[in-house]
C-alpha cells in the first residue's frame, strides 16, 4: 500500500495577494518506509501534512491513499479512509481536555463504533506500550508536554494505520524527551510496519529515518 502525492500545489489567497506555499510536490511512501521533512518555519510543512492527511485540499494535484484518490471522496468517505489508514500527530497535541489519557487514546476506536470495554482495553495496552500505565486517569492538563505527545502518538496508532503522519512531534520538547518520542515512533514503525512521515526542525533526528527531504521555496527535494 502506498501514499502517493502527485503535482501538489497550494496557494492561499488574501484579497489581491496570493501566497504560493507548495509548488508541484511529488513523492511516494510505502508501508514500512520512513521519511523526514525538514524546512524553515513558514516553508509549508504543516500545510503539506494537512493535505496528505486529507485535512485540507490542495489547490491542484492529487493525494492517493492506496487506490483512494482523496479528491474523489465525499466527506463521509474521506472520514472513513482517514480513520482506517491514517494516524495524525499534530504539531500541538490536540488531546481532548475533558477526557482522560485512556479515553483520549480510545477515541478513534469509539468513533469507529468499537464497544467501549474493548476500546478501553486496547487503549490500556497502548498506555503500557508508551510506558504511561500509571497516568490512565490523568487529564491532558495534568500531563507533561512529552507525556501528552506520547498519548497523542498512542491515539494515532490505536487503529494500526498504514501511515503515521507526525508534524513536529518533538517541537515543544527538550532534546532528551524529543529523543524518547523519536525512538518510540521508530519502534512502532518497526513493530507495526507503519509508514512514517515526520516533520522536524532537527536534522539529527531526521537522519534516523530512511529518507530526508527539505521543503524550500515550495519545493520538496530529497537530501543527498
Ligand atoms: N489558512 C491560511 N491562510 C493564509 N496563509 C496561510 C494559512 N495557513 C498557512 N499560511 C501561510 O502559509 C505558509 C506555510 O505555513 P505552514 O504552517 O505550512 O508552515 P510550517 O512550515 O509548518 O511552519 P512552522 O515550522 O512554523 O510550523 C506560511 O507563510 C503561513 O503564513
Ligand atoms: Mg508547522
DSSP assignment of 167-203 equals ESTTTTS-HHHHHHHHHHHHHHHHHHT-EEEEE-S-H
**Count of domains observed in the chain:** 1
Instruction: Examine residue 210 and state whether it is found in any structural domain, yes or no.
Output: yes
**Which ligand is in closest contact with the Cα of 167?**
2
Instruction: Examine residue 54 and state whether it is found in any structural domain, yes or no.
Output: yes
Residue 93 has pLDDT above 80, yes or no: no
Handedness of CA 128, 131, 133, 136 (dihedral sign): negative
The pLDDT value recorded for residue 181 is 84
* Rounded distance from Cα 158 to ligand 1 centre (Å): 29
The pLDDT value recorded for residue 191 is 87
What are the pLDDT digits (tens) for 121-161?
999 999 998 889 999 999 999 999 889 989 999 999 999 99
Instruction: Examine residue 115 and state whether it is found in any structural domain, yes or no.
Output: no
Closest to 163 measured CA to CA, from 8, 54, 60: 54
* Rounded distance from Cα 17 to ligand 1 centre (Å): 15
Cβ(13) to ligand 1 under 6 A?
A: no
Whole-angstrom distance, CA of residue 164 vs CA of residue 197 = 6
Give the domain range for residue 70. Answer: 2-92+149-222
The CATH code of the domain that includes 83 is 3.40.50.300
Residue 204 has pLDDT above 90, yes or no: no
Q: End-to-end distance of the chain based on CA atoms, in angstroms?
A: 26
Closest to 72 measured CA to CA, from 57, 86, 87, 59: 57
Cβ(19) to ligand 1 under 6 A?
A: yes
Instruction: Examine residue 136 and state whether it is found in any structural domain, yes or no.
Output: no
What are the pLDDT digits (tens) for 165-184?
999 988 877 888 788 888 88
Instruction: Examine residue 160 and state whether it is found in any structural domain, yes or no.
Output: yes
Could you tell me the three cell numbers for 193? 510496519
Instruction: Examine residue 158 and state whether it is found in any structural domain, yes or no.
Output: yes
**Which ligand is in closest contact with the Cα of 220?**
1
Residue 42 CB neighbour total at 10 angstroms: 10
Give the residue-averaged pLDDT of 201-208: 88
Share of the chain above pLDDT 90, in %: 75
Whole-structure pTM value: 0.92
Instruction: Examine residue 112 and state whether it is found in any structural domain, yes or no.
Output: no
Q: Whose CA is nearest to atom 13 of ligand 1?
A: 42
Residue 91 has pLDDT above 80, yes or no: no
Instruction: Examine residue 133 and state whether it is found in any structural domain, yes or no.
Output: no
pLDDT band at 2 (very low <50, low <70, confident <90, very high): very high
Amino acid at each position: 500500500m502506498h501514499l502517493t502525492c502527485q503535482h501538489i500545489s497550494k496557494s492561499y489567497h488574501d484579497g489581491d495577494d496570493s501566497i504560493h506555499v507548495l509548488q508541484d510536490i511529488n513523492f511516494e511512501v510505502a508501508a514500512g518506509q520512513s521519511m523526514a521533512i525538514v524546512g524553515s518555519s513558514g516553508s509549508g510543512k504543516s500545510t503539506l501534512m494537512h493535505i496528505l492527511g486529507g485535512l485540507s485540499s490542495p489547490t491542484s494535484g492529487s493525494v492517493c491513499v492506496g487506490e483512494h484518490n482523496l479528491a474523489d471522496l465525499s466527506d463521509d468517505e474521506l472520514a472513513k479512509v482517514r480513520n482506517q489508514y491514517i494516524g495524525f500527530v499534530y504539531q500541538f497535541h490536540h488531546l481532548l481536555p475533558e477526557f482522560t489519557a485512556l479515553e483520549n487514546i480510545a477515541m478513534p476506536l469509539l468513533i469507529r463504533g468499537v464497544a467501549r470495554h474493548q476500546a478501553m482495553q486496547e487503549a490500556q495496552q497502548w498506555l503500557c506500550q508508551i510506558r504511561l500505565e500509571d497516568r490512565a486517569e490523568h487529564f491532558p492538563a495534568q500531563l507533561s508536554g512529552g507525556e501528552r505527545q506520547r498519548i497523542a502518538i498512542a491515539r494515532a496508532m490505536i487503529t494500526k494505520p498504514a501511515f503515521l503522519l507526525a508534524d513536529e512531534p518533538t517541537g515543544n520538547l527538550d532534546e532528551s524527551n524529543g529523543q524518547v518520542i523519536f525512538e518510540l515512533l521508530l519502534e512502532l514503525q518497526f513493530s507495526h510496519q507503519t509508514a512514517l512521515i515526520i516533520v522536524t526542525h532537527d536534522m539529527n533526528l531526521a537522519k534516523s529515518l530512511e529518507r530526508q527531504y527539505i521543503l524550500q521555496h515550495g519545493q520538496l527535494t530529497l537530501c543527498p
